[in-house]
Amino acid sequence: MSSPIIAPSVLSADFANLGRDVEMINSSNADWFHVDIMDGVFVPNISFGFPVTKAISKQAKKPLDVHLMIVQPERYIKDFKEAGADILSVHLEASTHLHRTIYAIKEAGMKAGVAINPHTPISLLKDIIKDADLVCMMSVNPGFGGQKFIEQTYTKCAELKEMILAASSSCLIEIDGGVNEVTAPKLLKAGADVLVAGNYVFASSNPLETIASLKSLNK
């Protein structure tokens, strides 16, 4: 038994009080900052880019887990390293030469993640699973916080866990979207290692307690 890695999603923070919310995560039981970058092309929304990521990284006392929801993510690997990313995830659906991109992320000194949309089958990860440090499995269609969790994620998570074990890979399973007190225990049972939580944390009356409750779950 061990505790999951908890990564609150800054997308749901109050951007007019970003420093305050970064401090809240610093002082919480959370492990990482989850930072969502959206380009308005890969997903139907635009979030923020380098200046905001840099500002978060300057104040953050925990690793930055940066999730790129952008087309041709390979163009910006060095820029995100400079902006303070520790883990950089690119979407499989947005990457034509995924191995090349994964190696470039590692060469730049970051952990490399592969994110997959809810409709993307786990089987497509077979030839990358040994090279990826993390798979960010979307349990909602990427683009917005606070969406409804897709129930099929539990089975997909278990399937991915099986693939990772069979390949003797040390890849972590991260679940992104709709994580809360109902979905989190079932996800951990299915093999999840990292829980991203945006709305559940920031819309709660006591974000510190909400983070602590997720961290206290067993995996």
**Applying CB under 6 A, does 178 fall inside the site for ligand DX5?**
yes
Applying the rule CB under 6 A, the residues between 79 and 138 that interact with ligand DX5 are none
Maximum Cα–Cα distance across the chain: 46
Q: Which tokens in the block code for residue 73? A: 């993510």
67 binds Zn ion (CB under 5 A): yes
CB 168 to Zn ion: min, Å? 27
Looking at the Cβ atoms of 59 and 204, the one nearer to ligand DX5 is: 204
* The one segment of 30-38, 44-52, 79-87, 158-166 that binds Zn ion by CB under 5 A: 30-38
Catalytic residue (one of 31, 36, 133, 193): 36
Q: In the set 4, 5, 6, 9, which binds ligand DX5 (CB under 6 A)?
A: 9
Active site residues: 36, 176
Q: Which positions lie near ligand DX5, rule CB under 6 A?
A: 9, 11-12, 34, 36, 67, 140, 142-147, 176-179, 196-200
